[in-house]
Structure 1
Amino acid sequence: MARVLAITPNPALDLSIGLERLVPGDVNRARVCRTSPAGKGNNVARVLAGHGHEVTVTGFLGAANAGAFEAAFVEWGVVDGFVRVPGETRTNAKLAEADGRVTDINAPGMAIRDGDVGRLAEAVAAEAGDPPDAVVMAGSLPPGLTTAMLHAVLEPLISAGVPLWLDASGTALDAGLALAPALIKPNGAELAACVGRELVSPADLIDAGRELQGRGVAEVAISRGADGVLWLTRTDVLAATAPPVTVESTVCAGDTLVAGLMHGRLSGWPDIDTLAFAVALSADAVTRIGVGRSDTPVFETLLGAVAVHAVDIEAPVE
C-alpha cells in the first residue's frame, strides 16, 4: 500500500453529543455523548490506516492533553509526527440531532509561534527527503499560522512532486489553492466562496469547479450532502448518489469521503470504482459517530446501491 502524510494544523478533541432535538435556552438531554481525538486530517489518516496504508500524522498538538491523541494514534496504527506546543488542544462540540442536523461549536485553537512553525517545517522537510506517495492537509489554521508560513512548510513536498490533497475552507482553502493541489473537496457553500458567486444548480457547481481547475486545481470533488458527489477529474465529470440511511451523525462523512477517494486512487482503481467506494464509505460514516468502515456487515449492501454515472456537460445536469 501507499505512504501518506496527513497534516492537521489545528486538531481537536471532538465532544460529540447526540440528542433528539436541540432546544436553545433549555435543558437538553443527550442520547449519547462521546469525546474522541479528531481533526479532519486525523480522521482521514484513521480511515487510510484502517485500509492498509502507511500513514504519518503531523501538525500542532497541545502538550497538556496530548495523551488522548497518543493513545488514539497507537490504536489507529499511524505514526505520530505531531509537534508538541504549550497548552491544550482545543475541544469542539458537535451537536447531532435525530433529523441529521449538526450544530458545530468550534474553538479557535492554540496560538502558534514562529518557533513552532519552524519545528513543523523541519519535520515536513524530513518527510520530503523520502517523499510519501501523497500528502493530505485538512482542517482550519490555528491562530498565528499565516498563509506564508503554511506555504513554507509545504514547499519541500510540493517541490518533490508529492500530490497535495486539500480538504479545508476559508483561509486554509485559499492558502492551499495557491499550491495547485491534486484535489480539493469543497461543499457548495465553500465552492461558492471560492468563485465569489451564488451557485444554484449542479451545472453551476460544475462550472465553478471547472473555473478552479483553470486556476491550477487538478481535480474537484464537490460534496452535496444527501444529493451525493460531483467529481471533476482531469478528463471527466462523474456524479454519484448513495442510498438513504439512518443518520446518527454527519460529522466525519466528508473526511471519510476524502479518505475513500485517496484509497481508490492510491490503489490504482478506476475512477468509477473509486467514487462508488468513497460514497458508500461516507454513507456508512453517517450511521455512527466516527469515521466510515468498509468491514461492516452493511457496507457491501451500501456499495451495491451507490449509483455512479458520467455527466454529459452539454446536457442539463440534474
Structure 2
Amino acid sequence: MARLLTLTLNPALDLSVSLERLVPGTVNRTRETHLTAAGKGVNVARVLVALGHEVTVSGFLGADNDGPFLRAFEALGVEDAFLRVPGETRINAKLSEADGQVTDINGPGAAIGDDAWQRLLDWLAARLDNTERRPAAVVIAGSLPPGVTPERLAALIEQLREAGLPVWVDTSGEALDRAIAARPTAVKPNEQELATWAGEALTSAEARLRAALRLYAAGVEEALLSAGPDGVLWVSARGAWQAVPPRLTVASTVGAGDTLLAALLHGVVEGHTAEQTLRLATALSAESVRHVGVGNPRATDFPHLQQQTRVRRLNDVDAGGAIA
C-alpha cells in the first residue's frame, strides 16, 4: 500500500442533519444529527485508510476548536500534520432530505495570512525532501479559505508537479479553472462544475463525454466526471470508460464524490486494471449514499454492489483528447 498525503486548506466541522423535508421558515424535526470533523480532504483520507493506505493529513485548522479533529485523526490512525492558525475552524451545516436533496450552508473559513501560507509551503518542501516520508501522491480537495487565492492554489499545484508528484484535485469555481490550467494529474468535477468550465450544458451522455475529453485534452491525465445516478466517466491514457452504479435508496450524497476520488486513486497507485479500478470506485461511491459519511469497503454486501455496477470501455483516446 502507498504513503499518501491529503491537503484540506479549508476544513470544517460538518453538522449533518437528516430530515424528511426541509420547510424554510418553520420548525423542522430531524431524523438524525451528526457533528463530524470533515472537509473534502479529510473525507478522502478516511476512504484511503479504509483501503489500507498510510495517510498524512495537512492543511489549516483553527487552534480554538481542533479537539474533534484530534480525536478523529487518532481514531483513523493518520498522521496529523495540520498547521494551526488563530481562531476557529468553520462549522458547515448539511441538510439531507428524504428525496436525496442536500442543502449546504457553508462558512468562509479562517483567514490564512502570508505567514501561515509560507509555513505550509516550507513544511511541504521538507516533506518532499524526506525520502522516508515523501508521499506517492497528493490530494488537494475542497474550497479555499480567505487569504488563499486561486492563483496560490495553481502555483502550489505547479510546484508539486515540478517536484515529480502526482496531484489529484477536487475543487470548484475559479479555483477549479485555475487548477485545471496548472495541469494537475487528476481532476474530479461534478456535472455542474464541468459544465461551467466547458461552457456548455451537459444534458446528454454525448455532451458529458465531449466535456470529459476536453478536460483530458487540456492536460489532465485522469479526467473523472461524476454524474450521480447517470454514473461516472473516466478519461485517461487507458481510454474512455463509463460506469453506472446500482440503483439504491439515497440517504445522503455528502461524501460520495470524495469516496469516488479516493477509491480511483487507490486503484491507480495499486496498479489495478481500469475496469477493476472504476468498478470499485463507482460501487464504493454508491455505497456511501445509503448513509451519512463516506463509503465503507467492509460493508457486508459490498461485493454484491460491485457485481451490480456496470462498467464498459467506450473506446481509445488519442493525445488530442478525441475518441480514436
TM interval, short-chain normalised: over 0.9
Residues 121, 154 of structure 1: 8 Å contact kept: no
**Cα distance, 1:127–1:156 mapped onto 2, change above 3 Å:** farther
The whole-number CA distance in structure 1 between the counterparts of 2:34 and 2:105 is: 15
Tell me if the contact between 1:117 and 1:149 (Cα under 8 Å) persists in the aligned partners: no
CA contact (8 A) 1:4 1:135 kept: yes
The match for 1:20 is: 20
Question: Secondary structure, in 3 states, of the residue corresponding to 2:168?
Answer: strand
Cα displacement (A) at 1:149: 2.7
Residue pairs, 1:228-239, within 5 angstroms: 228-239=231-242
Whole-angstrom CA distance in 1 between matches of 2:194 and 2:118:
31
CA distance in 2, matches of 1:25, 1:260: 40
Instruction: Quote the residue 1:291 is aligned against.
Output: 294
Is residue 216 of structure 1 aligned with residue 219 of structure 2?
yes
Whole-Å separation in 1 of the counterparts to 2:315 and 2:217: 19
Deviation at 1:218, TM superposition (A): 1.0
Alignment correspondent of 2:95: 95
**2:53 alignment partner in structure 1:** 53
Moved more, 175-184 or 92-101: 175-184
Structure 1 position 155, deviation (Å): 4.5
CA 1:312/1:158 → structure 2, altered by over 3 Å: closer, same or farther?
closer
Check 1:313–1:2 CA distance in 2 against 1; reply closer, same or farther (3 A cut): closer
Paired position in structure 2 for 1:192: 195
5+ unaligned residues in a row in structure 1: which ranges? Answer: none
Mapping for residues 110-149 of structure 1, pairs under 5 Å: 110-129=110-129, 130=131, 131-149=134-152
| Alpha-carbon separation, structure 1, partners of 2:245 and 2:2 | 27
Residue 65, structure 1, aligned to residue 65, structure 2? yes
1:253-292 alignment, distance < 5 Å: 253-292=256-295
Alignment length (residue pairs)? 315
Partner of 1:241: 244
Q: How far, CA to CA, are the matches of 1:147 and 1:228 in structure 2?
A: 29
Partners in 2 of 1:167 and 1:309 — Cα distance? Answer: 24
Q: Deviations over 1:14-61 (max 9, x none)?
A: 000000111111110000001000000110011101211111111110
Shift of 1:183: 1.2
Q: What residue in structure 1 maps to residue 228 of structure 2?
A: 225
Across the aligned residues of Structure 1 and Structure 2, the Cα RMSD in angstroms comes to 1.6
1:312 CA drift (Å): 4.5
Percent of residue pairs identical: 51
1:174 aligns with one of 158, 172, 177: 177
Cα distance in 2 between the residues matched to 1:304 and 1:172: 36
User: How far apart, in 2, do the equivalents of 1:153 and 1:218 lie?
Assistant: 18
Normalised by the length of structure 2, the TM-score is 0.94
Aligned equivalent of 2:320: none
Secondary structure (helix, strand or coil) at the match of 2:87 reads coil
Name the residue aligned to 2:253.
250
Q: Is the 8 A contact 1:124 1:156 kept in 2?
A: no
| Secondary structure of the structure 2 residue equivalent to 1:237 | strand
Secondary structure at 1:197's aligned position in 2? Answer: coil
- 1:77 maps onto 2:80 in alignment: no
Q: For 1:30, what is the secondary structure of its paired residue?
A: coil
Secondary structure in structure 2 of the residue aligned to 1:111: coil
Aligned to 1:308: 311
Q: Deviation string for 1:208-261 (max 9, x for gaps)?
A: 122222221112111010111011122411111111112211100000000110
The answer as to whether partners of 2:278 and 2:311 remain within 8 angstroms in 1 is: yes
| Aligned AA (2:7) | I
- Secondary structure at the counterpart of residue 210 of structure 1: helix
C-alpha displacement of 1:152: 4.3
* Shift, 1:150, TM fit: 2.7
CA offsets 1:137-175 (integer angstroms, 9 cap, x no match): 000000111233334444442222111111111122123
Gap change, CA 1:150 and 1:312, over 3 Å in 2? closer
* Aligned-partner Cα distance in 1 for 2:201–2:59: 33
Q: In 2, distance between residues paired with 1:12 and 1:222?
A: 24
3-state SS in 1 of match to 2:31: strand
Q: Is the 8 A contact 2:64 2:87 kept in 1?
A: yes
Give the TM-score, by structure 1 length: 0.95
Q: Which moved more, 1:201-210 or 1:258-267?
A: 201-210
**SS of the residue aligned with 2:176?**
helix
How many angstroms does 1:10 deviate by?
0.4
Aligned counterpart, 1:37: 37
Structure 2: any 5+ residue segments left out of the alignment?
Answer: 318-322
